[in-house]
Amino acid sequence: MLDVLHRSGNVHDSNGAKEFILQCIQTIRQELPDIKIELHMDSAIFSDDIVTALDALDNVEYCISVPFSRFIELKGFIENRQRLCPMNDQFKYFEKQWMPETWLRRHRFIFVCQKVKRPFKGALQLVLFDPLEVAHE
């Protein structure tokens, strides 16, 4: 962790986020000009403005969680997907170039699904154990 931006409780997390992120990157670049910078951010700051600003920077890689509540169509991409690429025994993924309706251009989205075990729903003849179904979320 490089820095923290404190805000009062009545201010959204995205307020001032772009400027703060770019200032942190500039600080790193002054000390380590050739280093690759990786950013991992939560969904509160996911916006076209921030993604476009990060795309314009050299040697900066990032991932931002996407808020499903703001982009309902993403759920449909996942539900209708027939084939997933395995990452390991627990995770599978797929990629899609997509542009939200209010954005100016397409971006790369990576959808990650995790294998989970859920209690079996249905009638059991003998209740000797709780069977589990395996699915991906």
For residues 79 and 111, membership in a common domain is answered with yes
On whether both 86 and 103 belong to a single domain, the answer is yes
Q: Is the pLDDT of residue 16 over 90?
A: no
Is residue 133 very low, low, confident or very high in pLDDT (cuts 50, 70, 90)? low
Q: 87 with 45, same domain?
A: no
Ranking 4-8, 22-26, 52-56, 131-135 by mean pLDDT, the lowest is 131-135
Q: Are 27 and 56 found together in one domain?
A: yes
Q: Do 21 and 54 reside in the same domain of the chain?
A: yes
Which alpha helices (DSSP H) does the chain contain, by range? Answer: 17-31, 48-55, 73-79
Same domain, 61 and 77: no
Mean pLDDT of the residues in the chain: 84
Query: Are 61 and 93 members of one domain?
Result: no
**Domain count of the fold of the chain:** 2
pLDDT digits (tens, 9 = 90+) for 61-105: 999 998 888 888 888 888 888 899 999 988 999 999 999 888 888
> Which 8-state DSSP code applies to residue 80?
T
Q: 19 and 25 in contact (C-beta within 8 Å)?
A: no
1 with 43, same domain: the answer is: yes
Instruction: Give the whole-angstrom CA distance, residue 109 versus residue 103.
Output: 14
| Final residue belonging to a domain, choices 17, 49, 65 | 65
48, 65, 82: which is the final residue of a domain?
A: 65
**pLDDT at position 127 over 60:** no
Range(s) of the domain holding residue 100: 72-137
User: Quick one: pLDDT at residue 27?
Assistant: 93
Q: Tell me: do 60 and 113 sit in the same domain.
A: no
pLDDT(130) > 90: no
Task: Give the phi and the psi of residue 91 in degrees, each rounded to 5.
Answer: -120, 145
The pTM assigned to this predicted structure is 0.72
Co-location of 30 and 87 in the same domain = no
Residues 14-38 have a mean pLDDT of 92
Angle between helices 48-55 and 17-31 (to 10 degrees): 20
Domain termination residue (choose one: 12, 36, 65): 65
Side-chain-side CA neighbours of residue 48 (13 Å)? 11
pLDDT in tens, 32-47: 999 999 999 988 889 9
pLDDT at 132: 62
> Are residues 119 and 132 in contact, defined by beta-carbon separation less than 8 angstroms?
yes
Q: Are residues 44 and 79 in the same domain?
A: no
Q: Note the pLDDT of residue 44.
A: 87
